[in-house]
């Protein structure tokens, strides 16, 4: 389908709702329209998926946004190999809705199903099984990328390997992904058997992860950042897929059916006082009790993988100023840095509503892929006076321990901080310069980090 593209002026923001951007936005419905959009006068240009990145990776103030979600068709599926060919605006939710009832799933999913395939590649997203299966791009066969200088290039780990590696985790700065081929995996049921393990503090949880994680394909820890003066009691929730033969009798008739959840939504931005230390403590005490009442459970994949999706627009809870998600990843030997970050946030009065702990395996294929062998802790901080200064101190601590921030979440880090955290940054910038010498593509993130003025 062709036709003229229409552009509107809109204000958009990352999921954290902090530092919004006014942009021109269009919603292409065909490859031709994407090519047409690239020739528009608004610069820089950036592709955007579902806008689920928390920071400024998916916005470009004063420029043109191509919102890709209308390009959401399945192009082909081979049931022998499990390879799905789809357009890049297809959401993981659309893929799971169609394929799970037919016995297939995605090998890697993040904590929300409301993201696109293009967004998953551009941040090389990880799931609760990174220590076993790596990140999203490890399961991508190839994709077609529209670049400003070289037109459409098919990239795979073998063909145009450096462009593939620059685009996997390359936050949309090497081109616009049209479509991708992904490997799905067969499942017998949509259910997992999950074990709950309460740990008195974060240090204990890290030790448990170290000693016993090998038996679980999926693992995640919910961290109560306010407990024990910031020592962070944690409940580890770890599980494996259940084969159809092991399902409880009441599930056997439809092993691949995922029960519908009630549709809840936060209708408007809450006042800032709603999230305060008392309400967070109350919520956490309730959660702790709920988790500790179980040892083991059989739960469906939506409840295990995507608990936050059960409340639409939950980011509005943080109020007018929004929030910053701080995701700190450290090498195995630097686990202590995470307990220190938690302690400091408590002592400085920056209370995280949600804390999530995961273990990472080998690093991803992308030049800017986030994971490295180690641990990752995610904390959500409501925007308050002094937060930026406090997070700068956290950045220094993280750097001292050889850690790094995640570009999908970051909105505050300084250029030199990110440069020190990503050793392949220069390599990435060289590839970018080769496919986009005039800097047609750009984002608030690339501007903030000074990448638009560098060729490597």
Ligand X SMILES: Cc1cc2nc3c(=O)[nH]c(=O)nc-3n(C[C@H](O)[C@H](O)[C@H](O)COP(=O)(O)OP(=O)(O)OC[C@H]3O[C@@H](n4cnc5c(N)ncnc54)[C@H](O)[C@@H]3O)c2cc1C
233: contact with ligand X by CB under 6 A: no
53: contact with ligand X by CB under 6 A: yes
Q: Closer to ligand X by CB, 200 or 450: give it.
A: 450
Interacting residue with ligand X among 64, 119, 364, 366 (CB under 6 A): 119
Number of residues that bind ligand X (CB under 6 A): 32
Backbone angles phi, psi at 360, to 5 degrees: -110, 150
Q: Is the dihedral of CA 33, 38, 43, 49 positive or negative?
A: positive
52: contact with ligand X by CB under 6 A: yes
Interacting residue with ligand X among 44, 49, 63, 255 (CB under 6 A): 49
User: Is there a contact between 29 and 70 (Cβ–Cβ < 8 Å)?
Assistant: yes
Helix or strand run (H / E) with residue 83: strand 83-87
Distance of alpha carbon 111 from alpha carbon 118, whole angstroms: 16
Residues 194-223 interacting with ligand X (rule: CB under 6 A)? none
Mask for 406-445, x = binds ligand X (CB under 6 A): --x-------------------------------------
Interacting residue with ligand X among 31, 44, 51, 361 (CB under 6 A): 51
Residues 64-83 interacting with ligand X (rule: CB under 6 A)? 68
Q: Closer to ligand X by CB, 255 or 371: give it.
A: 371
177: contact with ligand X by CB under 6 A: yes
- Residue 171 CB, shortest distance to ligand X, in Å, is 4
DSSP secondary structure letters along 398-412? HHHTT-EE-TTT-SS
122: contact with ligand X by CB under 6 A: yes
Q: Closer to ligand X by CB, 326 or 346: give it.
A: 326
Distance of alpha carbon 153 from alpha carbon 349, whole angstroms: 49
Q: Is the dihedral of CA 71, 73, 74, 76 positive or negative?
A: negative
Interacting residue with ligand X among 118, 255, 355, 374 (CB under 6 A): 118
Q: Closer to ligand X by CB, 65 or 247: give it.
A: 65
Interacting residue with ligand X among 115, 377, 379, 418 (CB under 6 A): 115
110: contact with ligand X by CB under 6 A: yes
116: contact with ligand X by CB under 6 A: yes
Distance of alpha carbon 154 from alpha carbon 18, whole angstroms: 35
Mask for 130-169, x = binds ligand X (CB under 6 A): ----------------------------------------
Q: 105-108: which pairs have CB atoms within 8 A and are 24 or more residues apart?
A: 105/184, 105/185, 105/187, 105/190, 105/301, 106/139, 106/182, 106/184, 106/185, 107/133, 107/139, 107/183, 107/184, 107/185, 108/133, 108/134, 108/135, 108/136, 108/138, 108/139
Q: For ligand X, which stretch binds (CB under 6 A), given 121-129, 182-190, 345-353, 446-454?
A: 121-129
Q: Is residue 453 packed enough to be buried (19+ CB in 10 Å), middle (13-18) or exposed (0-12)?
A: exposed
Distance of alpha carbon 371 from alpha carbon 360, whole angstroms: 6
Outline where DSSP puts E strands in 204-315.
Answer: 218-224, 233-241, 264-265, 296-300, 311-312
Q: For ligand X, which stretch binds (CB under 6 A), given 119-127, 187-195, 277-285, 341-349?
A: 119-127
Q: Closer to ligand X by CB, 88 or 398: give it.
A: 88
Binding site for ligand X (CB under 6 A): 15, 46-53, 57-58, 68, 88, 110-112, 115-116, 118-120, 122-123, 125-127, 171-172, 176-177, 308, 408
């Amino acid at each position: 389908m062709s036709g003229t593209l229409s552009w509107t002026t809109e204000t958009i923001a990352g999921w954290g709702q902090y530092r919004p951007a006014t942009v021109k936005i269009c919603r292409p419905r065909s490859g031709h329209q994407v090519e047409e959009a690239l020739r528009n006068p608004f610069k820089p240009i950036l592709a955007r998926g579902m806008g689920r990145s928390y920071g400024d990776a998916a916005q470009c103030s004063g420029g043109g946004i191509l919102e890709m979600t209308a390009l959401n068709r399945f192009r082909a599926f081979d049931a022998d190999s499990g390879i799905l060919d789809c357009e890049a605006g297809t959401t993981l939710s659309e893929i799971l809705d169609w394929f799970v009832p037919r016995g297939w799933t995605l090998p890697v999913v993040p904590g929300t199903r409301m993201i696109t395939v293009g967004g998953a590649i551009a941040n090389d997203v990880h799931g609760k099984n990174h220590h076993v299966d790596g990140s999203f791009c490890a399961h991508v066969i190839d994709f077609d990328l529209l670049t400003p200088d070289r037109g459409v290039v098919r990239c795979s780990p073998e063909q145009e390997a450096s462009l593939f590696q620059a685009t996997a985790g390359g936050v949309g700065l090497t081109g616009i992904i049209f479509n991708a081929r992904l490997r799905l995996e067969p499942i017998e049921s949509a259910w997992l058997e999950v074990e709950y393990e309460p740990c008195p503090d974060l240090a204990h949880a890290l030790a448990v992860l170290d000693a016993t994680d090998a038996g679980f394909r999926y693992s995640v820890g919910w961290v109560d950042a306010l407990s024990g003066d910031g020592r962070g009691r944690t409940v580890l929730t770890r599980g494996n897929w259940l084969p159809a033969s092991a399902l409880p009798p009441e599930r056997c008739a439809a092993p691949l059916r995922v029960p519908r959840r009630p549709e809840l939504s936060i209708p408007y931005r809450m006042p800032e006082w709603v999230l305060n230390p008392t309400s967070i403590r109350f919520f956490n005490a309730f959660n702790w009790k709920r988790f500790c009442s179980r040892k083991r459970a059989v739960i469906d994949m939506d409840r295990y993988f995507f608990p936050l999706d059960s409340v639409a627009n939950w980011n509005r809870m943080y109020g007018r100023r929004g929030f910053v998600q701080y995701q700190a990843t450290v090498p195995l030997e630097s686990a202590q840095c995470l307990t220190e970050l938690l302690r400091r946030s408590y002592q400085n009065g920056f209370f995280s509503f949600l804390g999530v702990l995961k273990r990472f395996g080998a690093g991803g294929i992308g030049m800017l892929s986030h994971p490295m062998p180690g641990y990752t802790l995610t904390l959500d901080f409501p925007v308050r006076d002094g937060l930026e200064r406090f997070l700068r101190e956290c950045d220094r601590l993280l750097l001292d321990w050889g850690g790094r921030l995640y570009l999908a979440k970051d909105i505050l880090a300084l250029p030199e901080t990110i440069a020190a955290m990503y050793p392949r940054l220069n390599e990435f910038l060289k590839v970018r310069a080769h496919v986009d010498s005039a800097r047609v593509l750009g984002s608030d993130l690339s501007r903030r980090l000074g990448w638009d003025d560098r060729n490597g």
